[in-house]
Structure 1
Amino acid sequence: MTASIAYKDLIEEAFIEPIRSVMVIDDEYPTLTNLISILQNGKSQSYSPANLERLQKIIEMCHQEKEWVVDVFDGKNPHLEAVNHIPERLRHSDLVILDYHLDGDKSQDGSKARSILKKLDNNKHFNLVIVHTNGLDGDIQNVFNEILYEFMAVPEINVFETSSEIEEKIEQWLDVNNTDGHLRILSNPLDVKDLLKLVDHNNKKNVLKYLASEHLFKPFSADIDEIKDGIQVNVKEIVKWLIKEKILEISKKFHGNHNCMTLKWEWDSKENINYICTGSVFITVIKKEDHSPVEEIYKKLIDTLVKLDPSPMHLLIAKIRHHMDEIGLEQANLITQNKLAQAGWLYSLLLNSKNNELEHDKAIDIHWEQLGRASKTDLREFSKKLCCSLNITANPEEICKRFFQISKQDGFQALSNLNAFSCTIPPTSSHLTTGTILKLNDSSLWLCLSPACDLVPGQRANAWRERIGTDYTVIKAVKLKPANIKEANISSNTNEYLFVKHDDGIVQAYYIALANSNPIWDVFYADNSGRLDENYQVKLTCIRKDDNPSVKVLLTAKNYDAEVIAELRYEYALNFLQKLGNNQMRIGLGYTNQMFGVEQSIKSKP
């Protein structure tokens, strides 16, 4: 490993090296089927020499220089207009080179290309896409804008709402004082990219500071001041009204469902680099030139990915995906060659899985672990290279700020999210198990701490049949008590706390007992043998006092609707199971710690 490795090289290793197949989609390029038809029928081909030469260079780059499989698709057959239809060869292409105008060079309609991009965005296979185009009227910026409109939802305007009284004042004043349309801020169209940057959540502190040199409204500050002087209201209210109006002007052009949290984009006219990136697709728009495809396409793609500056974890996950593809067959062969182990696995699975769905999880986990262990050495080296490229001696805070725009003031929030990620996972089990976190319909949280083997549906049915029948599973659970999140983070290594990230994105800490206190535990009876429905919900019954004050306090059965909000990872569940076991096995001894108050003087000594 070299100390001078560049982060750019690792981006290339994670995103470019895995490329195996390329799909070129352009109605001006011949497909293999078209060429065969021309040869068979003796027809004269109608493709321009310039387009044929460009395609030939692309194919040569793919075959000879990069050793990629390449196919050409004219965008006509099979039909892409079908709802949610993506041809399989397109769905699994690592790199797509897409012409924007698939209805002829003279057409200005890019709807078919945008449809392909939207369908790829719904694809589970990550695609790199180069929109290779002559542009709209020779300008690729318009193409970029149209694609951005296709992916983005209308920006949130509620934060820019003003009172109806102020809106009425502004509109009445404009009706009288802007009849000649001299206020340029109202008549000049704004570029969608500039407007999206203005309302981006990372810019919320500066969005109303219209006098700042970089503000979108700075060139129109005189117009804003004129409106302010005319109606005598807070200038911030005027700026909010203007932003809302500008969003509404172009709102009908937005057709997507992404926001600034799920989509990253960049347009750098100085470096001639642009991209739109979601979790499923990376798109860059490149103008068709007469340069070498290596310069025009390959190197430009790398430069654009470098501009994206994906986080180290993004690179590591991409590397893991690729590495599993590389070693998967080899490891599968090693596993299947051990026929005795395979026979034991299959026999156990067939024998036990009917009554215990966890047997499937066990089988998957064993095989997945072997794949993971086989990958660990190579992935460890890649992780080392990541740290080396970021200069491991540099300030980690600055590096985190570079990738995630967080700083020291966000430290506790980042720590809370890390701890929640470490100890809890989203629910996946089909029934209650050790470490299941339940939210009852009285808003209380309970942690299931019965041993997992006792929670398998039907496992202990005979033991309880005479008392409660066979429809219920008995579980022991402890009540989770909320903790101060900062104190919990600081004391997290005491193993007393667990962290849960709720649906609203907030992480909260909980404990079952601290210091000399005892946990609050209870016995619940889970309906349907503890099986969870498709929404991870289950009905619970427990014994509670009868709240009717007119009679002697009696015990009664109370029913609860419970929802699984998370599960503890296995080792964390065992930690709390052990704590509960130790508490319930404690032995009381006959020592005395009080006599005539003499103990007070001992306690008071420093």
Structure 2
Amino acid sequence: MADINATYADLVEEAFIQPLRSVLIVDDQYPTWEEILNEALPADNQARGLAVRSREKEWRRNPSGPLDVIKQFRSHKPGFVIDIHDAVSGETHKSDEDELADYLHQSDLLVLDYNLEGAESGLGGLKAREILKSVLTNKHFNLIVVHTSEHDLNEVFSDCLLSLMQSCASRFDGDIDAGISKLEKKLDELVDEGLFDRKVLFEKMTMDDYLSLRRAHVSLGDAIRSFMKAEGYLADVSAWAKQAGLAGKDLKDFFYWAVQEFEKPHKKLFSEGEFEGVSWSRDPERLWFRTVRGFVAFVSKGPTDLLSELQKALEAWQPTPSRLLSAKYRHELSSIGVEAEDRTLLKRHVFAHFYKDFCSKGNPKLSDAEAERLRTAKLKSHVYSKSEAISFHIEDEVARFGERIRLADGGESEDFARFYNLDLSDEKSAESKKARAHYNSYVSTLPLKKGDDQLDSGHIFKWGGDWWVCATPACDLQPGQNTTAFVGESSEQRPFTALKLVEVKNMDDVDDQHVNSGLFCFVEPVDQLGAVICLGFQKIEKSEIVPNQKIEKSEIVPNGKATWRTFVAEKNGLISQNKMSMIVPKFVDQKLVLEAAEAEVVAKLRYEYALNYIQKIGISVTRIGLGYS
């Protein structure tokens, strides 16, 4: 039975903290296994450099700090597997980063000391920032605690955050640079006249102001418009520029100048590229940021429970119910996935037959390349079925966790809904309509993969300015399968049927009757990420105004005939870089012509949705009443 007393903190702990089993501590003042064991060797056999470095470490004079941290993780139930790295064993920063990245493949949590070089080095956390960047580019989602004795935790946070960003100035185009150069001459004149002082910029513009401009949802165009009105984050900077007599184009150039000047003292911090999905909080009570590859909390050294501080930072992030469910799914898969997998694999006859079929070339007429593609297709299908079977064993526990989320949310109050930062209270609002469109796309389409793929049922492509969906059963599209479309057979060309789709230009015309009609689909084209379009094989038109009402009603144009064509895919249906070569049979001057064409594959429907269009083809070719007048 679901725990009705669970709080949001309980849910975050269960999803993110309880799954942790191992921790890697990176601190140049902590003892490592290497140095401890090195001391046990006879003096002549000891590594001298390691011994010297060990004797200089702070823990020898004050072991309580490292001991308290280690005790925290040992006392956790279940206890953590702990490893320690002092980040100075490599000869270069790069070797350290690579080594740590390898360590993290086996660690759930990283505790990273910020000043690994020592305060006297003057490097100010350079090595820690490089390690952080390396960790946040590996293939795993990492939980990281930056643990520091620096007096200004805010500055440590800002420096680490800037190291994940590309400077704005590095992306200014030639026109902007020319405008700044021209403005500089005018500013020189104002300085000479005593009307302007460049140093005042750092009194008017704070790090908070700059980071507010860098948030993902802030448009630079909107920021400039606010700046021109002396509003928004840089209102004080704008007012200061206006006091100096700047207006119009000069004032706009001053915006770019101010951003560039503010970035100059931080120039060495910025990254050459932008990290994906960066978001953050500068709340002094809880400093954190995240990317798509990790979450980073910032904590001052002292008698602090690091796991508790990490959990509070995670709560401040406010992961959505969807993220909690995803984290719970990963944990359950890790916890009982092996057991579930073993239950599945006990069916030896099933998997013996799979392996025999997988290793078989199938049709002896297939080339080696085509046989490999066929085996790949079989393996993908096998992985899908196996994943579904394993998920079946853990779905009940994840569902129970989802019920706990709902109960903790208070049922009807939907307090957790605000964590999505969307207001869907008005069903007719633009946000609600967008949410429905994206949800419909999510449940009906699969993400396209990079690299090569095989033409399959439900692949949506554009050709000749029109939209088409492949409506041939999947079993007829694999290399080596027989075809009934033409006499004979080919190992290079594969006939397939496609249904023509029509794009609905105005999404406001799509209502419940269209969504539930089975005639339309919702896709997010690979070349229009973030935009969902509605496609159907029948048009939507506005009917006359309904009597006694001031609204028009959208109706499906009554046309039961679907437009479909037979195409021939080249290279046995190979899709490369979202492109597919094909042959289009058509009549020209009373003669059949085979025209070469290239189609752009933009999306793929899930099979149950593709099957709907396959059925529409069947309905289209089984009409009766040909003799009706």
TM-score tier, shorter chain, comes to 0.7 to 0.9
Relative distance call for 1:526 and 1:84 in structure 2 (3 A) is farther
Which whole-Å CA distance do the structure 1 matches of 2:593 and 2:301 have between them? Answer: 77
Residue of structure 2 equivalent to 1:565 = 602
Which whole-Å CA distance do the structure 1 matches of 2:586 and 2:228 have between them? Answer: 64
Aligned counterparts, 1:271-310, within 5 A = 271=285, 273-289=286-302, 291=303, 293-294=304-305, 297-310=306-319
Q: Aligned letter for 1:75? A: A
Q: Aligned letter for 1:107? A: S
Which whole-Å CA distance do the structure 2 matches of 1:24 and 1:165 have between them? Answer: 48
Which whole-Å CA distance do the structure 2 matches of 1:236 and 1:160 have between them? Answer: 18
Relative distance call for 1:116 and 1:21 in structure 2 (3 A) is same
Structure 1 residues 482-491 or 22-31, which shifts more?
Answer: 482-491
> Share of identical aligned residues, percent?
26
Task: Identify the match of residue 445 of structure 2 among 416, 424, 429.
Answer: 424
Task: Identify the match of residue 501 of structure 2 among 469, 476, 480.
Answer: 480
Which whole-Å CA distance do the structure 2 matches of 1:166 and 1:85 have between them? Answer: 42
Which whole-Å CA distance do the structure 2 matches of 1:475 and 1:576 have between them? Answer: 13
Deviation per residue, 1:323-372 (Å, 9 max, x gap): 10001111122123232333333333334775454321232122211211
Q: Does structure 1 residue 129 correspond to structure 2 residue 148?
A: no
Which whole-Å CA distance do the structure 2 matches of 1:91 and 1:314 have between them? Answer: 22
- How well do the aligned residues superpose, as a CA RMSD in angstroms? 3.2
Residue of structure 2 equivalent to 1:389 = 408
Relative distance call for 1:489 and 1:373 in structure 2 (3 A) is farther
Task: Identify the match of residue 139 of structure 1 among 129, 143, 152.
Answer: 152
Shift of 1:166: 7.3
SS, match of residue 411 in structure 2: coil
Q: Does structure 1 residue 38 correspond to structure 2 residue 39?
A: yes
Residue of structure 1 equivalent to 2:541 = none
SS, match of residue 571 in structure 1: helix
Q: Does structure 1 residue 258 correspond to structure 2 residue 258?
A: no
Is this contact kept in 1: 2:228–2:252, CA < 8 A? Answer: no
Residue of structure 2 equivalent to 1:577 = 614
Relative distance call for 1:172 and 1:81 in structure 2 (3 A) is closer
The answer for unaligned runs of 5 or more in structure 2 is 44-50, 363-370, 539-555
Is this contact kept in 1: 2:114–2:147, CA < 8 A? Answer: yes
Shift of 1:555: 3.5
Which whole-Å CA distance do the structure 1 matches of 2:387 and 2:319 have between them? Answer: 27
Q: Aligned letter for 2:383? A: I
Shift of 1:517: 4.0
Is this contact kept in 1: 2:319–2:419, CA < 8 A? Answer: no
Which whole-Å CA distance do the structure 2 matches of 1:346 and 1:46 have between them? Answer: 59
Residue of structure 2 equivalent to 1:61 = 72
Shift of 1:203: 4.3
The answer for unaligned runs of 5 or more in structure 1 is 547-551, 593-606
Shift of 1:434: 1.1
Residue of structure 2 equivalent to 1:601 = none
Q: Does structure 1 residue 504 correspond to structure 2 residue 528?
A: yes
Is this contact kept in 2: 1:28–1:51, CA < 8 A? Answer: no
Is this contact kept in 1: 2:27–2:87, CA < 8 A? Answer: yes
Aligned counterparts, 1:216-255, within 5 A = 216-220=233-237, 222-227=239-244, 230-233=245-248, 237=252, 240-246=255-261, 249=264, 250=266, 253-255=269-271
Relative distance call for 1:159 and 1:403 in structure 2 (3 A) is farther
Structure 1 residues 422-431 or 370-379, which shifts more?
Answer: 422-431
Relative distance call for 1:220 and 1:351 in structure 2 (3 A) is closer
Shift of 1:537: 2.5
Which whole-Å CA distance do the structure 2 matches of 1:462 and 1:208 have between them? Answer: 63
Give the TM-score of the pair, scaled to structure 1.
0.85
SS, match of residue 224 in structure 1: helix
Q: Aligned letter for 1:565? A: V
Which whole-Å CA distance do the structure 2 matches of 1:83 and 1:40 have between them? Answer: 26
Which whole-Å CA distance do the structure 1 matches of 2:171 and 2:242 have between them? Answer: 24
Deviation per residue, 1:425-477 (Å, 9 max, x gap): 1235832111111223x3322111112111111211698564x7442111111
Deviation per residue, 1:73-114 (Å, 9 max, x gap): 111235652397234323331111111222234333222212
Which whole-Å CA distance do the structure 1 matches of 2:476 and 2:337 have between them? Answer: 35
Is this contact kept in 1: 2:216–2:279, CA < 8 A? Answer: no
Deviation per residue, 1:127-178 (Å, 9 max, x gap): 111111112xx32222222211211122489899988997687545423223
Which whole-Å CA distance do the structure 1 matches of 2:86 and 2:329 have between them? Answer: 33
Q: Aligned letter for 2:209? A: D
Give the TM-score of the pair, scaled to structure 2.
0.82
Is this contact kept in 1: 2:582–2:596, CA < 8 A? Answer: yes
Relative distance call for 1:480 and 1:33 in structure 2 (3 A) is same
Q: Aligned letter for 1:509? A: C
Is this contact kept in 2: 1:488–1:497, CA < 8 A? Answer: no
SS, match of residue 342 in structure 1: helix
Residue of structure 2 equivalent to 1:341 = 350
Is this contact kept in 1: 2:358–2:375, CA < 8 A? Answer: no
Is this contact kept in 1: 2:359–2:375, CA < 8 A? Answer: no
Relative distance call for 1:169 and 1:523 in structure 2 (3 A) is same
Which whole-Å CA distance do the structure 2 matches of 1:139 and 1:488 have between them? Answer: 54
Residue of structure 1 equivalent to 2:6 = 5
